[in-house]
Amino acid sequence: MVPLAPKIKLSNGMEIPTIGLGTWRSHESDAERSVKDAIDIGYRHIDTAFVYENEKEVGRAINAKIGEGIINRKDIFVVTKLGGIHHNPQLVEHACRKSLSNLGLNYIDLYLMHFPVGQIHKGDDNVHGTLELSDVDYLDTWRAMEKLVDLGLVSGIGLSNFNEQQTDRILQVCRIRPLVNQVECHPGFNQKKLITFSKERDIIITAYCPLARPKPDQQWPPFLYDATVKDLSKKYGKTPAQICLRYLVQLGTIPIPKSVSKNRIAENFAIFDFELSDEDMKIIDSYNTGQRLIPFSGMSQHKYFPFNSVA
């Protein structure tokens, strides 16, 4: 029996493991293999999205492990996301059913609205859209997502890349509350203000890009490579990446590091046998620059763009 990660209870009573495997930019055989490896290691939270174009591979891996008797369906927490091209309320159920078909599953644990800005739908094969942005109100998209819960297609729904004002706008009208908000979050952009805001509203922050896309040849970011974090690494007998992920867990987030290396996937998981002191948490706080790595700048002029305006 492999060790499993602790779980956090969501506002609807569901429990979500406190670390997940991210699969952005994991394609074809890499995606399938990495998900199988993650499940063997003990991951029970897998994150994908329609726009990642790997739902089929992720689903094959999950179903293979179910077939082997390693897990039951109820043991695995599967997250996928509604793409921008499907924001029209008339397309939401269609999009969800397409993701279910891709995954080979009969329900999704958590279905997120990937971004508050929608795109013009020109067919499902045009996965990433053309940055021809639609004026669909994300409130209308959310109402259509609520119906997915009623239909039993998804167990819960949530947000991704939403700011505080947009989250409150959802909360003012929703019938079913968002369970999580998945956002960029790492020591260089620690989102502490959003984490506090979300906790007050019983919303969990999922941290994507939790290691900030390391560049070993450039020894970047500093919170993985400089002398201070190397000292912490020696102190705790953990790698800088493990220190970073543990920091995010102690902030109250759920990190979803992406890797296709079995050794790295295992390394990222081994963060529940130590705890950072308050002093060392403050040291890692000092790496926060407030600088976003993923600006989504192609959408920055839209009225619902979340990162430079109140919408």
The predicted-structure confidence for 3-45, as pLDDT tens digits, reads as follows 999 999 999 999 999 999 999 988 878 999 999 999 999 999 9
Residue 33's Cβ-side half-sphere holds a number of Cα atoms within 13 Å equal to 10
205 located within any domain: yes
Residue 308 domain-assigned (yes or no): no
How much is the CA Rg of the chain, to the nearest whole Å? 19
The rounded distance, in Å, linking the Cα atoms of 48 and 29 is 15
Is pTM, for the whole model, over 0.95? yes
From the list 56, 58, 13, the residue with the least C-alpha distance to 256 is: 58
Please indicate, yes or no, if residue 309 is contained in any of the structural domains.
no
**pLDDT at residue 129, as a whole number:** 67
Say how many domains are in the chain: 1
Strand 45-47 to 15-17 pairing: unpaired
- Flag whether pLDDT at 310 surpasses 80: no
> Is residue 43 in a domain?
yes
The residue among 162, 145, 132, 141 whose CA lies nearest residue 311 is: 162
Residue type for position 267: E
Catalytic residue selected from 43, 52, 138, 287: 52
The verdict on residue 1 lying in a domain is: no
Amino acid at 208: Y
Asked whether residue 311 is domain-assigned, the answer is no
Distance (Å, rounded) from C-alpha 35 to C-alpha 54? 11
CA 13 from centroid of its chain's CA atoms:
19
Q: Which of 190, 145, 180 is nearest to 291 (CA)?
A: 190
Residue 17 lies in a domain: yes
Least confident segment among 52-56, 90-94, 127-131, 224-228? 127-131
pLDDT at 79: 98
Phi first, then psi: what are they for 238, rounded to 5°?
Answer: -130, 160
Q: Report how far residue 39's alpha carbon sits from residue 47's, in angstroms, rounded to the nearest whole number.
A: 12
Paired with 258 in beta bridges are: 22
Residue set of the binding site for substrate? 114
- Quick check: is 52 catalytic? yes
Is 304 among the domain residues? no
Give the three-class secondary structure for 301.
Answer: coil
Whole-number Å distance between alpha carbons of 257 and 95 = 26
Give me the CATH number covering residue 90.
Answer: 3.20.20.100
- Per-residue pLDDT tens for 39-76? 999 999 999 999 999 999 999 999 999 999 999 999 99
Could you tell me the residue range of the domain that residue 152 belongs to?
7-299
